[in-house]
Amino acid sequence: MSTDEIPLLELRNVSKTFRSAAGETIHAVRAVSLAVRRGETVALVGESGSGKSTLGRIALGLIRPDAGEVLLDGRSFASLSSRAFREARQAMQPVFQDATASLNPRRTVRELMAQALRRHGGSVDVHAAAILDSVGLRPGSQYLDRLPHELSGGQRQRLAIARALAVEPALIVADEPLSGADVSIRGQVLNLLLDLQEARSIAYVMITHDISIARAFADRAAVMLRGEIVESGTVDEVLVEPKHEYTRRLLAAVPELDRRAW
Ligand code: ADP
Ligand code: MG
């Protein structure tokens, strides 16, 4: 097999159960397999509680599955030394819905960027300003002394993306990154992510309950229901001509939108 054929990230039969407060077993993810290739976007869609975030956290190495394997570049997480595992985790960066929660309110933008850039040599200010520029916080140098609360919600989400980018990841797992943002910000952030993907060939796993975002943004889609992937394929196959009744119901619930609308 050539290296081109090895997926960037592969989940093989991963499962994860939780115990509820009442002591019941919750099968959050059941024997899910999913591959993400370099530079592509895979949308993970499904209603709330279907296991999307849990699967995303397993992919990021933040949750260890009870069963199954996660492979980055064909190497199983379980086979890695703790140092190699830390490096693998660096290659995959999260962007969560609530940027505010992931940004220490007492740290300036400079300090927040310095954390993400700590593995780089050279001037943090120069590097950080360039990345801030690239996410549309321009000129980046003028943001360095600000605190998170001095930014708007949209600017904070851009800062969260800038921090993820500073690590130079091969994959970004974005978990509902646009929920709660107003429509104009959603369009801007989506377009930013698309531009960055083109420039740096980053792969995305885009977790969303919003089918219109998945359609506008993804190459492939996987539909989750009660912890399982019930349907997957190209966006056209899955989100335009779905075979599964559940996917049809999800689609029926969303207004028509296309890429141009962003
Ligand atoms: P989604 O992101 O699709 O809304 P989640 O992965 O967050 O779904 O949750 C899947 C199921 O697992 C839900 O029933 C949720 O309540 C449960 N769950 C998720 N995380 C935990 C946890 N840390 N402890 C207990 N139950 C959890
Ligand atoms: Mg979720």
pTM of the model: 0.91
Is the model's pLDDT at 257 over the cut of 50?
no
Q: Dump pLDDT digits (tens) for 212-246.
A: 889 888 999 999 999 999 999 999 999 988 899 99
pLDDT for the residue 5: 84
| Atom 7 in ligand 1: residue holding the nearest Cα | 53
Is the model's pLDDT at 14 over the cut of 80?
yes
Task: Name the pLDDT band for 146 (thresholds 50, 70, 90).
Answer: very high
Is the model's pLDDT at 8 over the cut of 60?
yes
Task: Name the pLDDT band for 72 (thresholds 50, 70, 90).
Answer: very high
107 C-alpha to ligand 2 centroid (Å): 27
Q: Dump pLDDT digits (tens) for 29-55.
A: 999 999 999 999 999 999 999 999 999
Is the model's pLDDT at 148 over the cut of 80?
yes
Task: Tell whether ligand 1 has an atom less than 6 A from the beta carbon of residue 49.
Answer: yes
The number of angstroms, rounded, from the C-alpha of 171 to the middle of its chain's C-alpha atoms is 8
Q: Of ligand 1's atoms, which has the minimum distance to the CA of residue 56?
A: 6
Task: Name the pLDDT band for 254 (thresholds 50, 70, 90).
Answer: low
Task: Name the pLDDT band for 260 (thresholds 50, 70, 90).
Answer: very low
Is the model's pLDDT at 122 over the cut of 70?
yes
Q: Dump pLDDT digits (tens) for 15-30.
A: 999 999 999 999 999 9
The residue-averaged pLDDT of 86-98 equals: 90
Could you tell which of 15, 26, 62 is best to mutate to test the pocket of ligand 1, judged by most ligand atoms within 8 Å of the CB? 26
pLDDT for the residue 228: 97
Q: Of ligand 1's atoms, which has the minimum distance to the CA of residue 224?
A: 3
| Atom 13 in ligand 1: residue holding the nearest Cα | 49
| Atom 14 in ligand 1: residue holding the nearest Cα | 49
Any idea which ligand is nearest the CA of 44? 1
Of the given ranges (28-32, 101-105, 170-174, 185-189), which has the lowest mean pLDDT?
Answer: 185-189
7 C-alpha to ligand 2 centroid (Å): 24
Task: Tell whether ligand 1 has an atom less than 6 A from the beta carbon of residue 188.
Answer: no
